[in-house]
Amino acid sequence: MRIPPSSRPAIDGRRRNVRRWSALALCAAAGACFAQPPYEVVRVDFDLPDGSQYFGIAMGSQGHVVGTYLEPTDAYTFGFRWRDGEVVELPSFAGGSTPSPGLQVIPKAVDATGEVVGDLRFDGFPNEAFWYSAPTFVSGAFRWTPPDLRAVNGLSENGRVVGSAVFTEGPLVATQAVAWTLPSTTDGIATDVRQLGRFVGDGILESQAIGVSPSGEFVVGQARRSVGAPAGARWNLSTGVTSPVMFMPPSAAVSSELVDVNDQGFAAGTFLNPTGSGIYIAGRAEIFEFPGLGGSSAAAAAIDSAGNIVGYAEDAQEISRAVITDGDVLVDLRTRLLHRWRNYTMSEATDINDRGEILVQACCGTSCGVAVLRPALHSDDFETDSGCGP
């Protein structure tokens, strides 16, 4: 279920002349990025048949987790929302009717109150959006003119949603980044719709919005201009300036993108070159590339208010590891677990919130699934590695 940078739509962009700072300087400006506490493992468990697959996609500021699950006998994928053992299944249909084979419910983001936004897909392609505000599940949400919504990707704490849609500007018909506000009623009508990527005036041929800050002030993604490689893009919605600041790390010979941003405007990104991919942080106009774990591939997933970035990186044996930044390096999150959970392996981290909780894909022995790493209240360094926790 991991989406590597190479699988995203190719979007070209103009290189911006940015200063290259150290991660230490960027972390000092952001406020932290150091010395994570030891973590305990909380499994995201719910009643599924043996052989089911489930994946954690995003986590809210109050610990809600959203993701997908696929039962072995099903021809469709359901979404779920989980918090402290309580599970809500997110349906792909209304009125109890049977969903169409091949239909997928893909939750993308969840806020502090548990509201969820995401995509409904047929054969892997987004068909329409959905919005879940308990107890109502609204399919075909966020309608406007033109109505050709392509993807929903992010949700801020004040109801700003970001994604991409098809817009027409003169002779150009293109997918562009867009932001809007959650409807106030279940009619699904979006409000305050803003086209962020623009050809007229800004020269953006194509763009997509991938992440939004908790306050809704900053939006990040990727943009393509007629000259240069696809570049990470950051929009500041508070300024009224539609043209994005674009970031291209020195190692990004193919493309880069920004995937998440905090309220200080610091963004987590992934760059792609002919030999692999890597993680970088973008400041106000600065870039730092993090060295990997010895493998060819790494990708960022999220950033918290302190500037800590999580994602995955391959080690020298090309095994994927869940990682977090610590100063100017990437650290395998397994090394930060309390010893009682050290038999866990984690292939990737998909989100982090400001409570210090991290959403991961984890395995212990042959049991694999979704877990939340929570900062431990104490250390157990005196204990030996044992089992899969208490």
| Domain enclosing residue 172, as ranges | 5-375
Instruction: Give a yes or no: residue 380 inside a domain.
Output: no
Q: What kind and span of H or E run contains 85?
A: none
Q: What is the pTM of this model?
A: 0.87
User: Total structural domains in the chain?
Assistant: 1
The CATH number that applies at residue 135 is 2.130.10.150
Distance from C-alpha of 261 to C-alpha of 336, rounded to nearest angstrom:
24
Instruction: Give a yes or no: residue 87 inside a domain.
Output: yes
CA atoms within 13 A on the CB side of 61: 15
Instruction: Give a yes or no: residue 129 inside a domain.
Output: yes
Total Cβ atoms within 10 A of residue 83? 18
The 3-class secondary structure across 283-311, one letter per residue, is CCCEEEEECCEEEEEEEEEEECCCCCEEE
Closest CA relative to residue 248, chosen from 9, 3, 12: 12
Start-to-end Cα distance in the chain: 29
Q: Does 21 score more than 70 pLDDT?
A: no
Instruction: Give a yes or no: residue 25 inside a domain.
Output: yes
Confidence of residue 15 (pLDDT cuts 50, 70, 90): very low
Give the tens place of pLDDT for each residue, 125-144.
Answer: 667 888 898 888 887 767 65
Q: Which of 3-12, 44-53, 61-70, 303-312 has the lowest mean pLDDT?
A: 3-12
Instruction: Give a yes or no: residue 144 inside a domain.
Output: yes
What is the phi/psi pair of residue 301, to 5°? Answer: -125, -35
Q: What kind and span of H or E run contains 60?
A: none
Q: Does 217 score more than 90 pLDDT?
A: yes
Q: Does 3 score more than 50 pLDDT?
A: no
Q: In the prediction, which pLDDT does 2 show?
A: 35
What is the token pair recorded at 167? 């817009």
Instruction: Give a yes or no: residue 383 inside a domain.
Output: no
**Cis peptide bond N-terminal to 91, omega within 30:** no
Residue 277 DSSP label: E
Q: Which of 19-33, 176-190, 259-273 has the lowest mean pLDDT?
A: 19-33
Q: How far is CA 35 from the centre of its chain?
A: 23
Write the single-letter amino acid at 270.
T
Instruction: Give a yes or no: residue 77 inside a domain.
Output: yes
Instruction: Give a yes or no: residue 385 inside a domain.
Output: no
Sheet holding 218-224, edge to edge: 206-212, 218-224, 231-236, 245-247
Q: At 327, is the secondary structure helix, strand, or coil? A: coil
Closest CA relative to residue 64, chosen from 20, 128, 107: 107
